[in-house]
A = this chain, B = another copy of it.
Amino acid sequence: MSLAPIAVSMGDPAGIGMEIAAKAWLARARGDTPFFLIADIQATCQAAQGVPVQPITNPADVTAVFPAALPILHMPLTVPAIPGAPDARNAAALVEAISLGAELAMRGTACALTTLPIAKSLLYQAGFGFPGHTEFLAARTGAKRPVMLLAGASLKVALASIHVPLAQAASTLSIAGLAELGRILDQALRIDFGIAQPRIAMAGLNPHAGEGGSIGREEIEILNPAAALLRQEGISITDAQPADSLFHAQARLGYDAVLAMTHDQGLIPLKTLHFWDAVNVTLGLPIVRTSPDHGTGFDIAGKGLARPDSLIAALHLAAAIAVRRAAA
């Protein structure tokens, strides 16, 4: 039995999303899982710059269409998309594209949802009540604890805190929260990534992982107790390690993923090493969801300059996870 196709939500139509979707279609290879774009057909035609697109009315048609054209499930915009000039009047349509993609993935009509980038500030103006895709999808799919994992070829990092001011990041951490995160990460490494005996490295919050309590006590009071609890449950996770020495080539051989305490602590090494090809994966959802690890690219939209590398990696990873979950 072959996999259902991957649903791709359009993202902000004034950004590079539809352009990279067209480029990803051009880069398709035999054996790739087909995908379809949930987007405005007119806007996609413009953005696709000559790449053939074809409207579909049912994801079941994707397999037949995909070899010859990028399949589009039409989601009409309110006003025409202008590259580089996002318009809040189109916010409802792009949110609906995400929502429909999630629904198709819940039903199994799509094997996964890959989301193209959105501009949060614009969505907030339009009344979008979530910090981002991750939280929106958790609400739509009834998930309790979505976890953001970034995956590059040589490094995977999961984030214990995401879009919070740095001064507040420490106060969001708890033993129970880190333990829950560790369990979700361990499970995802086993099932989604097919690693039989995953090894997790926990990064310290403070410089030198607190240096025995002299530069902050969170390691002693929160991080290490959470790690100890997880080890009691049979999960392989280290105590908090000095984060600055955790990401060089030799160190990366010692683990399968890092549990990072803050956004930048995880994303700095990830993007230093994998700026073009990293993928954002949401763990803890009942559906498979990936996305390219970059923004809307309003500054280069419509110019043909955008690179599809990260989207292509996101599509490949979505399919790989869908296969492993189906077999689990």
Contact = CB atoms under 8 A, between A and B. Distances in A.
A165 interface: yes
Interface string A163-195: 111110111000000000000000000000000
A149 B280 CA distance: 32
Given A166-B206, A207-B162, A207-B164, A244 B216 contact: no
A74 B246 CA distance: 37
Interface stretch (A45-53, A265-273, A320-328): A265-273
Nearest to A205: B166
Secondary structure dominating the interface of A: helix
A211 B120 contact: yes
Contacts of A162: 207
A167 to B, nearest CB: 4
A154 to B, nearest CB: 11
Contacts of A211: 120-121, 163
Interface in A239-292: 243-251, 261-265, 267-273, 275-276
Nearest to A171: B167
Nearest to A276: B248
Contacts of A262: 166, 207
Given A121-B211, A171-B167, A248 B264 contact: no
A131 B246 CA distance: 23
Contacts of A244: 263-264, 267-268, 270-271
A216 B262 CA distance: 14
Contact of A207 (B208, B210, B263, B275): B263
A215 interface: yes
Contacts of A166: 166, 169-170, 205-207, 216, 218, 261-262
User: Across chains A and B, which 9 residue pairs bring their CB atoms closest together, nearest first?
Assistant: A165-B216, A248-B275, A244-B267, A207-B263, A167-B170, A247-B272, A269-B272, A244-B271, A243-B264
30 contacts: A163-B211, A165-B206, A165-B210, A165-B215, A165-B216, A165-B217, A166-B166, A166-B169, A166-B206, A166-B218, A166-B261, A166-B262, A167-B167, A167-B170, A208-B263, A244-B268, A244-B270, A244-B271, A247-B271, A247-B272, A248-B275, A251-B275, A264-B264, A265-B268, A268-B268, A268-B272, A269-B269, A269-B272, A272-B272, A272-B273
Interface of A: 120-121, 124, 162-167, 169-171, 205-208, 210-212, 214-218, 243-251, 261-265, 267-273, 275-276
